[in-house]
Amino acid sequence: MIESRFNHLFLFYEKYKKRCWACGSLDSIKWGKQANRQRYKCKNCDIFFTIQNESVTKANLLVWFKRWIVHKHTFEQLSQESGYSISTLQRYFYRQLEDPPIWQTKQSQPVNLLIDGTYFGNDLCLVIYRDDKIKFTQLYRLTDGEWFEEIREDLENILSLGIEIQSITCDGHKAVLRAIRFVCPYIPTQRCLFHIQNMCRIWLTSRPKSLAAKELRSIVGQLHMIKFHNDKLFWIRQLRQWYSLHKDFVQEKTLHEQSKRWWYTHKLLRRSFAVIKNALPDMFHYLDNANIPKTTNGLESFFGHLKDNLSIHRGLSKSHKKSFIKWYLYFKNTEVF
């Protein structure tokens, strides 16, 4: 009877008393708070300690880590909000950067894929394969450029995962187009209208001097207004009329004195027309299927936000920068599902 009461009293005492990690004594008392956590003092060895749950601590730190990656918070801001010291946050965050997440894909049937790459300097290029409908990154590659072999391998991996590609929208990079023709030649490949417009405007300049350049710039400026098949037919008719009228001007050549070779006089004008002519078969797939994006602007915006976040944390090593990008893509995908 006495022994059972003693055991009951001991269990009650242990439940409400915190055991000292240093000496193991239960003779502890509450001693204020530190960083919003209850602090205790051991009366046996006179040390101060707080009770920590390791799993909860890691989960809490992961929340602050996500804010550092995705929400542009600095170490100083996170330290004030969380109560952790800057050195503690840095130590944990850099440890997380050493252990990037395991990538997972989601099958969304069918997928309207956006493919584009962006550069971060130091020969670091990020190529993304993103589902435009659900804003989910199906695959990515960190490399040093947009190469045919790598993009071909990525497309093959996407198909091998059972993901059905309904369409692909890209900016017209030669390696991307070649890889698409090699792996999935029957999938509609939509050329990004914004890239066509932007490049032509750069080559033709904002104030072209020749009449041909002025008229072509006006025609190119109407691309984003094409919403129906009739608009497309009218636009193509305008382009053909322009070429028939200015064909001799576009094909005009001049003899270069140094090289003694004949070359096109109006190179940038001819280049602008050549880009439109070559892209014309793949410029209007979005008219046949409303789910096909006509530009890669969604990815351009995504890249912009990523670079803004990364610029706040300047000074990361190349390996940490790669890991930062991986974590950013991972957190953005978890927001979708």
**What is the tens place of the pLDDT at every residue in 216-238?**
999 999 999 999 999 999 999 99
| Angle subtended at Cα 188 by Cα 187 and Cα 194, rounded to the nearest 5 degrees | 140
pLDDT at 55: 59
Check the CA dihedral 78-81-87-89 and report its sign. negative
Q: Dump strand ranges (E) for 63-124.
A: 111-119
Helix 318-336, helix 86-97: angle, nearest 10: 90
Instruction: Report pLDDT digits (tens) over 181-217.
Output: 999 999 999 999 999 999 999 999 999 999 999 999 9
Q: How many CA atoms lie within 13 A of 258 on its CB side?
A: 0
User: What are the residue ranges spanned by the domains of the chain?
Assistant: 2-50, 193-288
pLDDT digits (tens, 9 = 90+) for 128-156: 999 998 999 999 999 999 999 999 999 99
